Structure 1
Amino acid sequence: MVVVKSVTIDGESIHVFRNAVYIFESSSGFTLELDLIVSEVVVKKYKSVDNLIVEIELEDGRIINSIMHVKILSGGLPQLNLFCELDDIQEYEDFDRVNENESWFPNIEDGITIEEIRKIEMPNEGVSCKLNLPIDQVEWIKKQKKKTLNEIFQNMIYEYWEKQESK
């Protein structure tokens, strides 16, 4: 069985939580497939990209460099499917094979949760709130920098959240 040690996309090493590398066999030929559980930040970064330069380092020391296509896999956890067509599969004989007529695919989601992924890399998203506050609070908020307000709200929400969870 082939084990992936690390993955680099466009020269940047990414954190991979789980993966499966295999040869997909169809009537149109063979593709090298790499399914990855990654963070939501990584999915967001590559969701609108068609092709990537990928370096896959295997545990046995082999390195695969290829231009690969990207598919975002929908479902529970944030996933990328990277793939490229293969003309010669001789050097990939020890890879698992999946045939288009089979119902078996590697399940890389078992045993990992979105909470575990977010502990490593938490995505940030913009949010707008419409509040009705006393004028002195509004004036104070307007004087603050965005970074300071972000920190205040994050801390305030986490404190409130913890109090609610401990009840």
Structure 2
Amino acid sequence: MVGVKTVKIDGECIYIFNSAIYLFESSIGFTLELDIIVSEVTVKKYKKEETLIIEIELEDGRNIHSIMHVKILSGGLPQLNLFCELADIQEFDGLHIVTENDAWFPNIEEGITLEEIRKVEMPIEEVSLKLKLPIDQVEWLKSQKKRQLNEMFQEFIYDNWKKNNS
């Protein structure tokens, strides 16, 4: 089976943790399918898109350029399923063909953890807290810059998290 070397979405190279490229045969024809494990940041970036311009470099040196539909697969690890319909499968020699009735299906999540993914690209989320504090602490908080508060809270949380999880 042919492996994927690199993937570019709309000209931007993305980090892939694992992937599977294959042809899916159904009663209506063939589709080229690319399943990729990516970071949560990448999923968030493309989750509202319907189609993307995809460039795939295969390990055997071949390049595939296509406009592909995108599906976000929920459940386990963050992943994208990219697919497009094919009229001719001749140029895709060496790709595994999966049918609707096949028992085999690529498991690209095996051996990868969310912690490993987050070491490469940690998502940043905004959070709001409601606290009851003495007025002097409120005044002090309001006088601080947002960037400094973010750094202070991150450090505080990581320090306490490490103590409680050790």
TM over 0.5: yes
* Match in the other structure for 1:132: 132
Unaligned runs of 5+ in 2: none
Provide the C-alpha distance between the structure 2 equivalents of 1:69 and 1:161, rounded to a whole number of angstroms: 40
Provide the C-alpha distance between the structure 1 equivalents of 2:93 and 2:15, rounded to a whole number of angstroms: 27
Q: Could you list the structure 1 runs, at least 4 aligned residues long, displaced by more than 6 angstroms after superposition.
A: none
* Match in the other structure for 1:69: 69
Cα distance, 1:156 vs. partner?
0.4
Residues 133-148 of structure 1: pairs in structure 2 closer than 5 A: 133-148=133-148
1:23-72: CA deviation from partner (whole Å, max 9, x where unpaired)? 00001110000000000000111111000000000111111000000000
Residues 145-156 of structure 1: pairs in structure 2 closer than 5 A: 145-156=145-156
Provide the C-alpha distance between the structure 2 equivalents of 1:43 and 1:148, rounded to a whole number of angstroms: 29
TM-score when normalising by structure 2: 0.98
* Match in the other structure for 1:54: 54
* Match in the other structure for 2:29: 29
SS of the residue 2:97 aligns to: strand
Provide the C-alpha distance between the structure 2 equivalents of 1:128 and 1:122, rounded to a whole number of angstroms: 19
SS of the residue 1:72 aligns to: strand
1:79-98: CA deviation from partner (whole Å, max 9, x where unpaired)? 10000111110011210010
Unaligned runs of 5+ in 1: none
* Match in the other structure for 1:96: 96
Cα distance, 1:103 vs. partner?
3.0
Cα distance, 1:104 vs. partner?
2.1
Provide the C-alpha distance between the structure 2 equivalents of 1:68 and 1:110, rounded to a whole number of angstroms: 25
SS of the residue 1:83 aligns to: strand
Cα distance, 1:157 vs. partner?
0.1
Identity, % of aligned positions? 70
Provide the C-alpha distance between the structure 2 equivalents of 1:40 and 1:100, rounded to a whole number of angstroms: 29
Provide the C-alpha distance between the structure 1 equivalents of 2:93 and 2:165, rounded to a whole number of angstroms: 52
Amino acid across the alignment from 1:101 = N
SS of the residue 1:60 aligns to: coil
* Match in the other structure for 1:17: 17
* Match in the other structure for 1:120: 120
Provide the C-alpha distance between the structure 1 equivalents of 2:8 and 2:145, rounded to a whole number of angstroms: 36
Amino acid across the alignment from 2:45 = K
Amino acid across the alignment from 1:82 = L
Cα distance, 1:110 vs. partner?
0.6
